[in-house]
Amino acid sequence: MLLIDPKDKLPKVTQIVQAIVRDIEKGVLKKNDRLLSITGFSKKHKIARDTVERAYKRLKDEGYIISVPGKGNYIDEVDQSSIRILMVLNKLSSYKKDVYEAFTRTLGRKAKVDLQVHHYDPKMLKEILDGARGRYHYYVIMPHFFQHLEEKEFTDILAEVPSHELVLLDKNVSLDIGNYIAVYQDFKKDIYNALSSATDLISKYSSITIIFPEHSNHPTEITEGIQQFCNENKKQFSIVADVSHTTLKKRHVYITLTDSDLASLIKSVRLKGLKIGEEIGIISFNETALKELLDITVITTDFEAMGETTARLIMDKDYVQVHNPFKLIKRQSL
């Protein structure tokens, strides 16, 4: 699929050449595949015939295609370099590291992956993408942004990436574009299902409180999923921003999103002499070795599986959206 961007400062001839070369390097176009005729290409993409002719000549001069008189232009045998991928994370964390390492390990020598961070800022993402335009075969993006933003403020930026080069990771976004790859969590549905799998343990508690720090930019769908579970199971539900300003109550389950809040919560519970798993329930987001040692119940996705699945979809050129669900690991803290 060829896309000419009128906003791109590169000449159309260069855009055509780069697009065809990327498809050759990605394996979309293979040796002996026949390209559209110059006239056919011109009509299909609404590009001047002279522009297409100059692009084809450059591809021929550079050894990417051969012309067969009376038959057309064909892909020639070329040395395919490794796939070039730009991964843009929303932030750096141990969980993102797990995704990145699984992703690069699965790709092996088949790809070179560059890493950048947009820090929840769509303007920064746009700057990154504008500077990287045409240099990569795939753009792997975690679309987590500031909570106060209108969706259009970042969907328009994502839609500027050609759909066959776009990969959304960790969170899916509704885009009115062609087929693209996504490996995502459904935060509202997943946390609801995770809590539902522990209904027997939660039944002894009357309320669920989530510690949701201000300006954390965690997906708000998390709170929606917890509230749905509470409504259906006749539990009180509340949100607090700071665990240190929270009066702990017996028969409450507290859910923490950050490791620092988990540490503060455990400290407060111990200072009050309450028993974790009996008088106070604790659930933490995302598995770590320390939480396993502390016997803390966690709701987590498989970050390694997320990275591995994304890499395989890219290698297989499988433009689908794959759900990477949460699971609840039951331990003594509940």
Supply 63's token pair.
Answer: 């050894």
Tell me the residue ranges of DSSP E strands in the chain. Answer: 65-68, 72-75, 83-89, 111-117, 138-141, 166-170, 181-184, 207-211, 236-240, 252-256, 280-285, 297-301, 321-323, 326-329
Mean of per-residue pLDDT scores for the chain: 92
- What residue ranges do the domains of the chain occupy? 12-75, 83-186+303-325, 188-301
**232 pLDDT above the threshold of 80:** yes
Q: Are 319 and 186 in contact (CB under 8 A)?
A: no
Question: 83-186+303-325 with 188-301: one CATH topology?
Answer: yes
Q: Is the pLDDT of residue 26 over 80?
A: no
Tokens 């591809």 locate to 59
Write the Ramachandran bin of 144: left for phi over 0, alpha for psi from -120 to 50, otherwise beta.
Answer: beta
Under CATH, what is the fold of the domain 188-301?
Rossmann fold (3.40.50)
| CB 325 within 8 Å of CB 187 | no
pLDDT tens for 52-78 read: 999 999 898 888 899 998 889 999 876
Residue 286 has which token pair? 């995302």
pLDDT at 202 over 80: yes
Of 4-13, 99-108, 241-250, minimum mean pLDDT range: 4-13
What percent of the chain has a predicted confidence (pLDDT) above 90? 71
Select 83-186+303-325's CATH number: 3.40.50.2300, 3.40.50.150, 3.30.930.10, 3.90.79.10. 3.40.50.2300
**24-30 mean pLDDT:** 81
Q: Which two tokens stand for residue 128?
A: 């990154």
Res 1 pLDDT > 90: no
Whether residue 82 has pLDDT greater than 80: no
CA distance 149 to 155: 11
Of residues 331 and 25, which shows the higher confidence score?
331
Give the dihedral sign, CA 202/207/212/213. Answer: negative
Q: Place 117 in a pLDDT band, splitting at 50, 70 and 90.
A: very high
Place 120 in a pLDDT band, splitting at 50, 70 and 90.
very high
What does the pLDDT look like over 262-315, one tens digit per residue? Answer: 999 999 999 999 999 999 999 999 999 999 999 999 999 999 999 999 999 999
**The domain at 12-75 falls in which architecture?**
Orthogonal Bundle (1.10)
pLDDT score recorded for residue 3: 63
* Verdict on whether the full-model pTM lies above 0.85: no
